[in-house]
Amino acid sequence: MRSRTYRVAAIAAEIAVPLLILAAWQAWTVHANDPLFPRLSTILVQFKEMWLFSQFHLHVVPSLIRIGAGFTLAVIIGLIIGIPLGLSRWGRLLAMPHIEWWRAMPPPALLPISILLLHSIGDRQKISFIAFFCLFPILLNTIDGVRGIDPTLIETTRSYGVGGFERIRRVVLPAALPQIFAGMRTSLSLAVIMMVLTEYFSSTSGVGYVLLISKNTFQLAPMWAAIVLIGVLGYLLNVLLILVERRVLAWHRGWRAAAAQ
């Protein structure tokens, strides 16, 4: 009963806090009359006109495609590299210094250099940037997830003559999935950030491009509408990934509940 009450209170707080912030924004902008901060009602009207009708296919769809392609590519590469490194101590010793060096590289530092070298960045380059900087949370969590597997499980499959690929598919990957999904959630947030950055620096379409044009032309209501859309996209994509995680890891929640009893 207590856990149910706590859960209801947590959900109510999650709903109430954003609503209070929005109400405070509207109340403040009505009296402040600051041109840099339009009224919330004005932003919402602009949001409806821009994103729900006229510019959805022109700007939102390309941004979603870039996020989806870059994130998917990062997941595939992270699993292909991370699982062998998690199983190999020598592989980790050789690879981890290079991984840590590239992981520490800030994305905005590489984008201007790439634009100077390539003169512009097309969709392939944008997707590659998104995939590259989304890779490291997935890769590192995959390595940690594989390393955390009970060695007895691995030895048992070997004693039964289970081959390497089959052992990875049936034992290693399922056991590491909870950790992998944790990295995927971090990477999905990075994918949204990198989408905005790449479109902001060099693009003719996308939400980041609209944000840049609105800022440069001092169209503040469209600029704030673009910022709101970025937040909405990040939130909805995170909810979608959580639903997938719950479906895929339903067995894990049942196992944890049984272990806690």
Q: What is the mean pLDDT of residues 15-44?
A: 77
Phi-psi region of 236 (alpha: psi -120 to 50; beta: other; left: phi over 0): alpha
Residue 258 has pLDDT above 60, yes or no: no
More reliable by pLDDT, 87 or 54: 87
Most confident of 45-49, 53-57, 128-132: 128-132
Burial grade of 38 (CB within 10 A; 0-12, 13-18, 19 or more): buried
Most confident of 37-51, 69-83, 122-136: 69-83
pLDDT for 62-102, tens place per residue?
999 999 999 999 999 999 999 999 988 899 999 999 999 88
CA gap 219, 92 in Å, rounded: 50
Fold classified for 39-252: MetI-like fold (1.10.3720)
Q: What is the mean pLDDT of the chain?
A: 83
More reliable by pLDDT, 4 or 217: 217
Share of the chain above pLDDT 90, in %: 31
The pair of three-digit structure tokens given for residue 112, joined into one six-digit string: 């201007």
Share of the chain above pLDDT 70, in %: 89
Please answer whether residues 225 and 43 qualify as being in contact, where contact means their C-beta atoms are separated by less than 8 angstroms.
Answer: yes
Q: What is the mean pLDDT of residues 172-183?
A: 92
Q: What is the mean pLDDT of residues 181-197?
A: 93
pTM: 0.85
Instruction: Give the pLDDT score at 71.
Output: 96
Q: What is the mean pLDDT of residues 136-152?
A: 91
Of 130, 137, 141, 135, nearest to 83 by C-alpha is 141
Instruction: Give the pLDDT score at 115.
Output: 67
Give DSSP secondary structure letters for 205-245: SSHHHHHHHHHHTT-HHHHHHHHHHHHHHHHHHHHHHHHHH
Instruction: Give the pLDDT score at 189.
Output: 93
The confidence band for 261, taking pLDDT boundaries of 50, 70 and 90, is low
What residues does each domain of the chain span?
A: 39-252
Q: What is the mean pLDDT of residues 183-200?
A: 92
Residue 177 has pLDDT above 90, yes or no: yes
Instruction: Give the pLDDT score at 159.
Output: 78
Residue 1 has pLDDT above 60, yes or no: no
